[in-house]
Amino acid sequence: MARIMERRSDFETLSRQREQIFTSTWAYGLAELTDIFRMAKWLTTVEDRFCESQLSDLRVINKLKLERFDVGINEALTLCGYALFMKVGIKKQVSTMPTNLIEKFVEPFAIDNNPSHVPGVPLI
């Protein structure tokens, strides 16, 4: 059974900054390599802040522990979920990908990377 758990966020300033950055990115593109690195650094900083905030919220951690989940599902590119699973005591985990499979993620499992299922995406 799925349930919604809401958690108050105190990141309104970051949300406004994120909106400004993404708006200008689509308007101007990421023409320079320095723009790409700046964006990646900013996104990492935001991810770190959100993760620290979640992992330090003992009310939510304790509520999750009481649920006694059998399995946790996390997006593979968002590492905070794995730390949350460890803190809550979830031993069985499923990793998901929001895009087609990336070779480095699936090579250890002998899974072929077949991007042909993504229509309209160039292979090169």
77-103 residue pLDDT tens:
788 899 999 999 999 999 887 777 777
pTM: 0.64
Confirm if 113 and 102 have CB atoms less than 8 A apart: yes
Contact between 49 and 19 under an 8 Å Cβ cutoff? The reply is no
Q: What is the mean pLDDT of residues 23-43?
A: 68
Mean pLDDT of the 57-66 span: 92
Report residue 13's pLDDT band, with 50, 70 and 90 as the boundaries: low
Provide the residue ranges of all domains of the chain, joining segments of one domain with +.
Answer: 13-56, 59-114
Q: In the prediction, which pLDDT does 42 show? A: 78
In this predicted structure, which of 37-41, 68-72, 73-77, 94-98 has the lowest mean pLDDT?
37-41
8 A C-beta contact, residue 11 and residue 50: yes
Over 70: is that where the pLDDT of 121 sits? no
Cα separation, 41 vs 19, in Å, equals: 16
